[in-house]
Structure 1
Amino acid sequence: MEYRMLGDSALKVSAVCLGTMTFGEQNSAAQAHSQLDMAVERGINFIDTAEMYAVPPRAETYGATETIVGQWLAHQPRERIVLATKVAGPARSLEWIRGGPPALDRANIRAAVEGSLRRLRTDYIDLYQLHWPERNQPMFGQWQFEPARERACTPIRAQLEALAELVAEGKVRHVGLSNEHPWGVMEFVRLAREHGLPRVLSTQNAYNLLNRVFEYGLAEVCHREQVSLLAYSPLAFGHLSGKYLADPAAAGRLTAFAGFGQRYGKPGVQPAVAAYVDLARRRGLSPARMALAWAYHRGCVTSTIIGATTLAQLDENLSAWALRPDDELLAEIDAIHLRHGNPAP
């Protein structure tokens, strides 16, 4: 396993990060702990979770994932684990989270971090992320900015000031973003610089063969400002494994939960998946292994967040680290991308 610097900090994270959103919904605590054990044995030191998890979000499972991770973490050398979690923002119908939540203001951020610390059984969080922006912006499958949707929101400076208090108190070591766009990253960086506030180290965004939007604007921003990309959904909710081509009803989150992963329901997804699957098979690779290896070794990615529901899946995902796509394979992947664009932004 390779370890990389997170942003401009001295924090080293494994190039593969274990995502945990299945814990408490598709995975029991015992299954989750087995995954965590395997990940650590294979060199992963980076664990990502969120107060909102398990997924899909439900009142009955709110906080379940952090609780399960905390049960495991209590028996680990804390200093060897880089633990990341996220505060849920408004703009989604999650009434069971602080009544909405109504805002990413000081009161909500503080209440969220206290809850996460309690469930995770730790006195600090290594990377605390804003799960999605409070302001109006396209996300989770929306594909264009709509000024008509503008609404009042907590100023970014106020959000950073709330996070600064937590950093000063030692409850949070570093801060990051998630599902952000270029303007948002630049504004967080600018305000931190101008007002002596915590600098964001990372943004956690969808990035895979069906969604390379990061490369069009955020890649330059993150490179120049030393903000790391934590790439999530490298298999596009299982699409890039090819399983839904052969059987649209194949077992997975997309078939288990109605209305889940809407960005992958767009009309251009299936032709693009078919092209990538064909390429992988022509090269003697499993489609999942090719898609993961591509993400793992992209120069713009600091760490790729993977998730699994079985140890066999996790083993396959981790084994893909050993594959380094050659120039010919990368050129063929780019040729497909130029034909099929970004079908699942």
Structure 2
Amino acid sequence: MTFSSLGDTGIQVSRLCLGTMTFGEQNTEQEAHQQLDRAVEAGINFIDAAEMYPVPPKAETQGLTERYIGSWLKARGNRSDLVVASKVAGPNRDMTHLRGGPRLNKAQITQALDASLQRLGTDYLDLYQLHWPERSANFFGKLGFTPDQDEEAISLHETLEALKTLVDAGKIRAIGLSNETAWGTMKCLELAKEHGLPRVASVQNPYNLLNRSYEVGLAEVSYRENVGLLAYSPLAFGVLSGKYLDGKRPEGARLTLFERFQRYASPLAAEAAAAYVGVAREHGLDPAQMALAYVNTRPFLTSNIIGATTLEQLDSNIASESLELSDEVIDAIENIHRRFPNPCP
């Protein structure tokens, strides 16, 4: 397993990170523990969660993901060997079950972190991330930016000051962003330098063969500022595995269970995915492993967040870390990208 530094923190994280948003919805506590065991056996030391998990977010299941990780950490006694990350939710009208509606101010961030620590059964997080911005911006699939003239967003400065208090208290080792833009990332870096605030170590955004929009502005920021990408949805909700081709909807699969997940479900996405799967099969590769291996090659990547609902899927995903793609395969992938540039931003 390859390791790299999480920004400027000196914290070493595995090239693959175990994503856990299925724990408590598609995976039971026992299955969650099995996945965690298998990941650690394979050399993964990085675990990513969020206060709102599992997904889809619901009041009755909120927090189960962290509780399952917490019960595993208690049973295994290996907390100090791991890099545990979680996230605080930003504003969302459909999530009033979180503090009456989450905001990124000091009181709410402190409350959210303390609740996450309690569920996880630990007194610190290695990485604490802002799940999405307080302000209106072009994230969650928005390519264009439309300013909100009536916006009353909490400033990034105020949010970073709140996080500084928690870093100083020893509850957080490093901070990160998620679903963020190039402007937001650079603004956070500027504020940190000017005001002695914590420097962001990473940006957790979507990145996969169907959505390479991160490359447009953020890739250079990641590379030059040492704020690497934590790539989420590297398989585009499983679409790049080929299991949904020709209109198939496998029993128990995410897009079968939850109609709300439409980001990677368009006809253009299906056409592009079929082309990528075709390249993999032509070269004798597993389509999912090829898609993950491509993400692993990116120079702006810190860690690739894999997720699975079965141990078989997890084993296959882990195997991608040692897969080297030939120049011929890379060229074929780039040719498809030119035909289908970011069909699922």
Are the structure 2 counterparts of residues 246 and 268 from structure 1 closer, same or farther at C-alpha, using a change threshold of 3 Å? closer
CA distances 1:47-83 after superposition (whole Å, capped 9, x unpaired) = 0000000111001110000000000112332211000
> 2:113 matched to which residue of 1?
113
- Secondary structure at the counterpart of residue 7 of structure 1: coil
CA RMSD of superposed structures (Å): 1.1
> 1:258 matched to which residue of 2?
259
Structure 1: 5+ residue stretches without partners: none
Structure 2: 5+ residue stretches without partners: none
User: What TM-score do the two structures reach when normalised by structure 2?
Assistant: 0.97
Structure 2 distance, partners of 1:309, 1:265, is 19
CA distances 1:78-100 after superposition (whole Å, capped 9, x unpaired) = 21100000001103411100111
Structure 2 distance, partners of 1:237, 1:49, is 17
> 1:95 matched to which residue of 2?
96
**Structure 1 residue 143: Cα displacement:** 2.8
- Give the letter aligned to residue 145 of structure 2: F
1:224 matches 2:227: no
> 1:296 matched to which residue of 2?
296
**Structure 1 residue 223: Cα displacement:** 1.3
Are the structure 2 counterparts of residues 278 and 146 from structure 1 closer, same or farther at C-alpha, using a change threshold of 3 Å? same
> 1:83 matched to which residue of 2?
84
> 1:333 matched to which residue of 2?
333
Are the structure 2 counterparts of residues 149 and 267 from structure 1 closer, same or farther at C-alpha, using a change threshold of 3 Å? farther
> 2:48 matched to which residue of 1?
48
1:313 matches 2:292: no
Does the aligned pair in 1 maintain the 2:208–2:233 contact within 8 Å?
Answer: yes
Identity %: 56
Does the aligned pair in 2 maintain the 1:136–1:150 contact within 8 Å?
Answer: no
CA distances 1:183-225 after superposition (whole Å, capped 9, x unpaired) = 0000000000000000000000000000001111001111111
Q: Superposed, which structure 2 residues align to 1:136-151 within 5 Å?
A: 136-148=136-148, 151=151
**Structure 1 residue 148: Cα displacement:** 4.1
**Structure 1 residue 289: Cα displacement:** 1.2
**Structure 1 residue 265: Cα displacement:** 2.9
- Secondary structure at the counterpart of residue 153 of structure 2: coil
Structure 2 distance, partners of 1:149, 1:16, is 41
CA distances 1:246-280 after superposition (whole Å, capped 9, x unpaired) = 443223111101212x2213342111111101111
**Structure 1 residue 319: Cα displacement:** 1.1
> 2:179 matched to which residue of 1?
179
- Give the letter aligned to residue 23 of structure 2: F
> 1:211 matched to which residue of 2?
211
- Secondary structure at the counterpart of residue 60 of structure 2: helix
Does the aligned pair in 1 maintain the 2:139–2:181 contact within 8 Å?
Answer: no
Does the aligned pair in 2 maintain the 1:267–1:343 contact within 8 Å?
Answer: no
Q: Superposed, which structure 2 residues align to 1:12-91 within 5 Å?
A: 12-74=12-74, 75-91=76-92
Instruction: State which drifts further: 57-66 or 243-252.
Output: 243-252
**Structure 1 residue 144: Cα displacement:** 1.9
